[in-house]
Amino acid sequence: MIRVSRRAFWYAALLAVPVSLRAQTVDQVIGKYYEAAGGLDQFKAVNSMRVSGRMTLGQGMEAPFTRITKRPKMVRVDFTLQGMTATQAYDGQTGWMFVPFMGQTAAEVMPADLAKSMEDEADFDGPLVDYQARGIQVDLVGQEQVEGTNTHKLKVTMKSGEVTYYYLDAEYYLPIRTEAKRTLQGREFNIVTTLGDYKPEGDLVLPHSIQVSGQGPGVQAFVIEKVEINPALKDEDFKMPPKPGGDW
């Protein structure tokens, strides 16, 4: 009879488990995310970006959109629906919006909670890049399945105390889902973002399909058709335009 020691048995069992499912530290998981997405140096080499495509709203309505971002913390989203163009933006200090469908005739400063949401969106790299230096806490919660895919579940706690859960594909180390509870205009929302259709853009690998649920009826779906890396953008592109007559 062949005798196998218990230690040898467990060692053989460990080797049979895919590397992606073995115990890893949070830094190892995030390091593999950097590598899968193109590399940390490549993240930092991008100073601006323009993304355009189509967004689908409830009742089958579709609107073309453009999203521009610029370091250190600026973002602007324009989308056109029924011949009218709406804008939501954060210029590094102020969040503002112009939504003609809601009867607005000029751009207005956002309410504080909406402005905070836009400020978070303006985070150019996302919270997983240089998280320790920025005072962000990231914990590796463990393994969890997302629609049949094994993932590494990360708990990301911002300095404000807000928490977002990131689910990284355990094989490819790219985010396929995020979950967060947020309070906007006095209501709590459980916001789920699903990311997919990753493709290379320059030296980076970016999602081209994004679906967001939990912020209202139905699901908002974004299909990205074009990505421009380091386009020439000015700070003024993100500023709130003056009201007619020159008054702010």
Q: What is the pLDDT of residues 31-86, one digit of tens each?
A: 999 999 999 999 999 999 999 999 987 677 889 999 999 999 999 999 998 889 99
Residue 1 has pLDDT above 60, yes or no: no
Task: Name the burial class of residue 174, with classes exposed (0-12), middle (13-18) and buried (19+) by CB atoms within 10 angstroms of its CB.
Answer: middle
Residue 218 has pLDDT above 90, yes or no: no
Q: What is the pLDDT of residue 61?
A: 82
CB 68 within 8 A of CB 75: yes
* CA 20 – CA 29 distance, rounded (Å): 9
Of all residues in the chain, what percent are helix, strand and coil, respectively (each to 5)?
A: 20, 45, 35
Q: Residues 6 or more apart from 187 whose CB is under 8 A from it?
A: none
* CA 204 – CA 36 distance, rounded (Å): 9
**To the nearest whole number, what is the mean pLDDT of the chain?**
87
The model's confidence at residue 117, banded by pLDDT at 50, 70 and 90, is confident
Residue 229 has pLDDT above 80, yes or no: yes
Query: What length does the chain have?
Result: 248
Local structure of residue 43 (DSSP, 8 states):
H
CB 54 within 8 A of CB 62: yes
The model's confidence at residue 136, banded by pLDDT at 50, 70 and 90, is very high
Tokens of 69: 């971002």
The model's confidence at residue 216, banded by pLDDT at 50, 70 and 90, is low
Name which of 197, 174, 157, 136 is nearest 32 in CA terms. 174
* CA 75 – CA 48 distance, rounded (Å): 10
The model's confidence at residue 217, banded by pLDDT at 50, 70 and 90, is low
Give the CATH fold of the 23-238 domain.
outer membrane lipoprotein receptor (LolB), chain A (2.50.20)
